[in-house]
Amino acid sequence: MLHVSRIADLRAACDAARAESLRVGLVPTMGFLHAGHRSLMRSAAAATDFVVVTIFVNPLQFGANEDLDPYPRYLAGDLDACAAEGVDCVFTPSPAEMYPRPPITSVHVEGLTAELCGAVRPTHFDGVTTVVAKLFAITGPCRAFFGRKDAQQLAVVTRMADDLNLPVEVVGCPIVREADGVAMSSRNAYLDRPDREAARVLSHALRRAVDAIVAGERDAKRVAHIVCATVGTEPRVELEYAEVRDAHELTPMVALEGSVLIALAARVGSTRLIDNVLVEVDGSKVSADLGVADLNAPGGSPCTAR
Amino acid sequence: MLHVSRIADLRAACDAARAESLRVGLVPTMGFLHAGHRSLMRSAAAATDFVVVTIFVNPLQFGANEDLDPYPRYLAGDLDACAAEGVDCVFTPSPAEMYPRPPITSVHVEGLTAELCGAVRPTHFDGVTTVVAKLFAITGPCRAFFGRKDAQQLAVVTRMADDLNLPVEVVGCPIVREADGVAMSSRNAYLDRPDREAARVLSHALRRAVDAIVAGERDAKRVAHIVCATVGTEPRVELEYAEVRDAHELTPMVALEGSVLIALAARVGSTRLIDNVLVEVDGSKVSADLGVADLNAPGGSPCTAR
């Protein structure tokens, strides 16, 4: 496995791969890799020939009062995880390598970034789209793999690639969940035991919303209310939003039909967590992507409800 | 010469060229091609193997009260000019092809776009960087060629490519001038005969500023004053700005040293024209890129002062 920290070295490695007619796949991460990231690497390995994992805690996507400094880092473990997944190249640039001078160029996606997480993190998505545009330009991937846990990020990056005609297919991959349903997140490391237990209410609330849709509920407000009410039963958790949106345009829905995203953000103690579920509603037919269990955990298996 | 109007066709043509190990060169234009554009094509042909000229009057870079509709168009003549210059591929997309839905993604370069032309055209450069980013993504050029007449555009696009790590070298090419010194511009077509004669004062003013620098003047304010005073002698011309700036950062200068851009914008009748000169000051040594004469005109020759 190649491990590079210089942009020029990553570019050269990807150019060399392409020169051998290998398709380059990109998995951009902020490190502290968990089973969710590993599932992205597996999707990349299945669909491309030269898998690049980037590990970069991007300062640009953190707000002034957010957790840039304490964000968990564990490079040795990350490199082991990448090697175990057969990754071809890991890129671990420094902030100075990515931003040798103050970055005055930014990529902005209007509208899609204004609400949901963008409402409380107003500069976050510009930081994401800008660094992803850079990583795309450096790596030149034919496919790039993003987790569906960051559903808004996936919608924003997909739209950026489409609007800017970037020659890359943006692939969304299922949320990976712990055995108790909690979505894998590097930020779960912040949670003490009581908060970690309380966090279960988030996926539980989403599952109750899906149960209601499966049982025939089609009113977006009532579905959102189920999420709010369920989360409200857990005093350690403060809901920031629970929204029912069109999965691609992120526009509010009234009656559920088509690709429906039920998304939430909440504070568990001082830790901000997000989760969501993607529901396909086709008349009376409902299918929900509730995510998959940790593939490495004993008895791990897909948990898609139909 | 290939002529395509679909993004997919241009992408396929460039992919095919690269598959043959040809280097792709890009000349983005808004059409109504003149000797300035043709000099870009020649620079591209000299430095790359597969020259793509794009012709697209980009609505995104025109303000609400600007000349999008009357902007001169002459496709047949443009195709003849491209063929005469040995261009490999001409791309003439429709607005709907470039923007199949309202473009919500934009590329913004902070600071560099705020002053000079950006002060009176506040949305212009976002339109430029966004469409250029798209054309780069579609074409995948190793080099892209821009005229130095649009000096601020060149600085902005260069910085965008650098900040976003785009794998393209942005090449600035000398201004091409009419025999009487007026910079080539598609917008010169708007000028009636008295205005066309009055427009000569712009390049004349720049040349007087260069003469002063060659004679030892190093004070930016006095150099700017020479331009203002000279343009002021022509009642048909209303100066919008005359600025002496660092050529790369576009920051104001006090004492002239290094790469100096003397740039101006003016209304000649109702037509807005821009012009500039790039001066290299190295102590007592001064060289100025005053542009080149039309290569096709009789007796045309470089007119660089040293």
pLDDT digits (tens, 9 = 90+) for A6-20: 999 999 999 999 999
Helix (H, G, I), strand (E, B) or coil at A240: strand
Residue B37 in tokens: 């554009």
The minimal CB distance from A110 to the residues B104, B129, B137 is found for B104
Residue A180: pLDDT band (50, 70, 90) is: very high
> pLDDT tens, B108-140?
999 999 999 999 999 999 999 999 999 999 999
pLDDT at A303: 39
Question: Given an 8 Å threshold on Cβ–Cβ distance, is A163 in contact with B110?
Answer: no
Contact B250, B172 (CB under 8 A): no
Model confidence at B301: pLDDT above 70? no
Average pLDDT, integer, range B33-39: 97
Closest-CA distance of chain A to residue B47, Å: 21
* Percentage with pLDDT > 70 across chain B: 96
* Percentage with pLDDT > 70 across chain A: 96
Residue A130 in tokens: 């800008």
The minimal CB distance from A137 to the residues B7, B111, B165 is found for B165
On whether any CB of chain B is under 8 Å from the CB of A104, the answer is yes
Question: Given an 8 Å threshold on Cβ–Cβ distance, is A163 in contact with B104?
Answer: yes
Q: Which runs of E-coded beta strand occur in chain B?
A: 2-4, 24-29, 50-55, 89-91, 105-109, 143-147, 169-173, 176-177, 237-246, 258-268, 271-282, 285-289, 292-293
Mean pLDDT (chain B) is 95
Fill in the DSSP letter of residue A31: S
pLDDT at B295: 63
Question: Given an 8 Å threshold on Cβ–Cβ distance, is B140 in contact with A167?
Answer: yes
Nearest CA in chain B to A168: B137
pLDDT at A293: 86
On whether any CB of chain A is under 8 Å from the CB of B269, the answer is no
Q: Which helix (H) or strand (E) holds B7?
A: helix B7-19
Residue B296 in tokens: 């096709």
Cα atoms in the Cβ-side hemisphere of radius 13 Å centred on B288: 19
Contact A265, A237 (CB under 8 A): no
Helix intervals (H) in A48-176? 75-84, 95-98, 117-120, 124-139, 151-163
On whether any CB of chain A is under 8 Å from the CB of B130, the answer is yes
**Chain A (8-27) residues lying within 8 Å, Cβ to Cβ, of chain B:** 11
Question: pTM value?
Answer: 0.95
Compute the residue count for chain A.
306
Task: State the ipTM, two decimals.
Answer: 0.94
pLDDT at A302: 41
What CATH code is assigned to B2-173? Answer: 3.40.50.620
Mean pLDDT (chain A) is 95
Residue B258 in tokens: 């290094």
Domains B2-173 and B186-293 share a fold: no
**Mean pLDDT lowest among A35-49, A133-147, B63-77, B283-297:** B283-297
d(CA B61, CA A260): 36
Model confidence at A159: pLDDT above 80? yes
Note if B37 is an active site residue.
Answer: yes
On whether any CB of chain B is under 8 Å from the CB of A138, the answer is yes
Helix (H, G, I), strand (E, B) or coil at B40: helix
Fill in the DSSP letter of residue B186: G
Helix (H, G, I), strand (E, B) or coil at A269: coil
Residue B306 in tokens: 């040293």
As to burial, measured by CB atoms within 10 angstroms (0-12 exposed, 13-18 middle, 19+ buried), residue A260 is: buried
The minimal CB distance from B105 to the residues A140, A159, A167 is found for A159
Model confidence at B304: pLDDT above 60? no
Helix (H, G, I), strand (E, B) or coil at A197: helix
Closest-CA distance of chain A to residue B150, Å: 19
Residue B105: pLDDT band (50, 70, 90) is: very high
What is the residue whose two structure tokens read 């150099």? B223
Model confidence at A205: pLDDT above 70? yes
pLDDT at B293: 86
Model confidence at A306: pLDDT above 70? no
Which residues are within 8 A (CB) of B226 and not within 5 positions of it... i.e. 6 or more apart?
A: B205, B208, B209, B212, B217
Residue B296: pLDDT band (50, 70, 90) is: low
Q: A186-293 architecture in CATH? A: 2-Layer Sandwich (3.30)
> pLDDT tens, B63-85?
999 999 999 999 999 999 999 99
Model confidence at B303: pLDDT above 90? no
> Where in chain A are the domains?
2-173, 186-293
On whether any CB of chain A is under 8 Å from the CB of B133, the answer is yes
Question: Given an 8 Å threshold on Cβ–Cβ distance, is B134 in contact with A107?
Answer: no
b/e map B175-195, b = 16+ CB within 10 Å:
bbbbeebbbbbbbbebbeeeb
Tell me phi and psi for residue A128, to 5 degrees: -65, -50
Residue B293 in tokens: 């004469």
Mutate to test the interface with B, among A105, A106, A113, A132 (most CBs of B within 10 A): A105
Mutate to test the interface with A, among B56, B112, B163 (most CBs of A within 10 A): B163
Choosing from A3, A34, A37, A124, the catalytic residue is: A37
Q: What sign results for the dihedral spanned by CA atoms A5, B25, B151, B259?
A: positive
On whether any CB of chain B is under 8 Å from the CB of A165, the answer is yes
On whether any CB of chain A is under 8 Å from the CB of B231, the answer is no
Residue A300: pLDDT band (50, 70, 90) is: very low
pLDDT at A294: 77
pLDDT at B161: 98
What is the residue whose two structure tokens read 């560099």? B112
pLDDT at B297: 61
On whether any CB of chain B is under 8 Å from the CB of A229, the answer is no
Average pLDDT, integer, range A182-192: 96
pLDDT at B298: 52
Closest-CA distance of chain A to residue B155, Å: 12
Question: Given an 8 Å threshold on Cβ–Cβ distance, is B107 in contact with A109?
Answer: no
Q: Which runs of E-coded beta strand occur in A253-297?
A: 258-268, 271-282, 285-289, 292-293
Model confidence at A224: pLDDT above 90? yes
> pLDDT tens, A240-268?
999 999 999 999 999 999 999 999 999 99
d(CA A84, CA A223): 41
pLDDT at B299: 45
Measure CA B117 to chain center: 12
The minimal CB distance from A105 to the residues B7, B105, B159 is found for B159
Contact A58, A30 (CB under 8 A): yes
